[in-house]
């Protein structure tokens, strides 16, 4: 199975992050984007580079800075004196797997340049719409917003990320092993493609055939509805969040080698898929409440559907 080969490739480079790798591939198979929030130096960029090599996709990197302009991301029209017309010069967003590095270091205006790309898989420049290559997948990284010189992402943009994840530090043993592996050459140099972009698109289509029992569909929607009635929440999860969790569960089941979703899939994915979509009351934030804690509290009190395999 090509997906399992990709996982093995990634685990050889990104040590001790098997869960992170599986969640990232889940988002890719489900056609979603990922926001990774963590401190510098824990392997965020390396994860994206390794994924692009393993999946046979083109890789582009955008370094977000305070002076970055929207046209630096999407591209611009340049006058061609020979042809006497304007030609579109594509920006770095025109890639299959795009790393938006330190996305919260640029202004909200430039951050908003990604909205159309993330939702419509296209960019509009000077009134002309240009489709992005397929597949298109964005991994954005950001430093924690309490760091100096950062801008919080707009709620509309946060809602377009399928998952929000954190790499975390490796253990003592994993970091020691890492030093041995990089002594002579970096493990990413040995990563070989296990599929082509066209095969990845086929896998994305297979995700849609994964069975989700009616009881699990109701379970997913109930979780979203409960966020809208939670006393700590000002704005709960939208229907987009329910759809995204539904699709992510299908993709995760496929990675696990199943043709049906189980309740544990929903419980595992609910926090990374839904927590960042919640807007809390100011008082709740000051009291230390987080989106993660809201979802966890909802999961703890909801009854779990009885596991039942598709007939």
Domain ranges of the chain: 2-199, 208-301
Contact at 8 Å (CB) between 55 and 6? yes
The number of helices, as runs of H, and strands, as runs of E, in the chain is 14, 11
Residue 310 has pLDDT above 50, yes or no: no
- Assigned CATH for 2-199: 3.40.50.300
CB 270 within 8 A of CB 237: no
Judge contact between 132 and 117, C-beta under 8 A. yes
Q: What is the mean pLDDT of residues 66-77?
A: 89
Q: Hey, what CATH topology would domain 208-301 get?
A: Helicase, Ruva Protein; domain 3 (1.10.8)
Q: Which range has the worst mean pLDDT, 50-54, 164-168, 184-188, 305-309?
A: 305-309
Distance (Å) of CA 26 to CA 7, 219, 246, 265? 11, 20, 12, 11
Please state the rounded mean pLDDT for residues 253-268: 95
Q: Look at residue 307 in the predicted model and tell me its pLDDT.
A: 60
- pLDDT (mean) for 152-160: 83
Instruction: Examine the pLDDT at 186 and tell me if it is beyond 80.
Output: no
- Quickly state the pLDDT bin for 260 (edges 50, 70, 90): very high
Mean pLDDT of the chain: 87
pTM of the shown model? 0.87
Mean local confidence (pLDDT), 45-58: 86
């Amino acid at each position: 199975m090509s997906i399992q080969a990709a996982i093995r490739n990634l685990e050889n480079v990104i040590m001790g992050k098997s869960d992170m790798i599986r969640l990232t591939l889940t988002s890719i198979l489900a056609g979603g984007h990922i926001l990774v929030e963590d401190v510098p130096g824990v392997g965020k960029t390396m994860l994206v580079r390794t994924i692009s090599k393993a999946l046979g996709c083109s890789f582009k990197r955008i370094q977000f800075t305070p002076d970055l302009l929207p046209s630096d991301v999407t591209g611009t029209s340049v006058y061609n004196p020979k042809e006497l017309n304007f030609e579109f010069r594509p920006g770095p967003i025109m890639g299959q797997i795009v790393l938006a590095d330190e996305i919260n270091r640029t202004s909200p205006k430039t951050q908003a340049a990604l909205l159309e790309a993330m939702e419509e898989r296209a960019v509009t420049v000077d009134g002309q719409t240009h489709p992005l290559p397929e597949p298109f997948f964005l991994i954005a990284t950001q430093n924690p917003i309490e760091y100096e010189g950062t801008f919080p992402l707009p709620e509309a943009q946060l809602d377009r990320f399928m998952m929000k994840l954190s790499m975390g530090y490796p253990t003592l043993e994993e970091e020691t092993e890492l030093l041995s592996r990089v002594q002579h050459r970096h493990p990413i140099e040995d990563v070989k493609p296990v599929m082509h972009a066209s095969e990845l698109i086929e896998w994305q289509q297979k995700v849609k055939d994964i069975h989700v029992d009616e009881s699990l569909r109701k379970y997913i929607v109930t979780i979203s509805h409960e966020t809208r009635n939670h006393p700590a929440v000002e704005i709960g999860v939208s229907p987009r969040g329910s759809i995204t969790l539904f699709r992510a569960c299908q993709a995760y089941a496929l990675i696990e080698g199943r043709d049906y979703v189980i309740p544990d899939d929903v419980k595992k994915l609910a926090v990374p898929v839904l927590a960042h979509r919640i807007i809390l009351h100011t008082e709740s934030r000051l009291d230390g409440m987080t989106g993660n804690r809201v979802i966890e509290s909802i999961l703890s009190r909801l009854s779990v559907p009885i596991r039942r395999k598709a007939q």
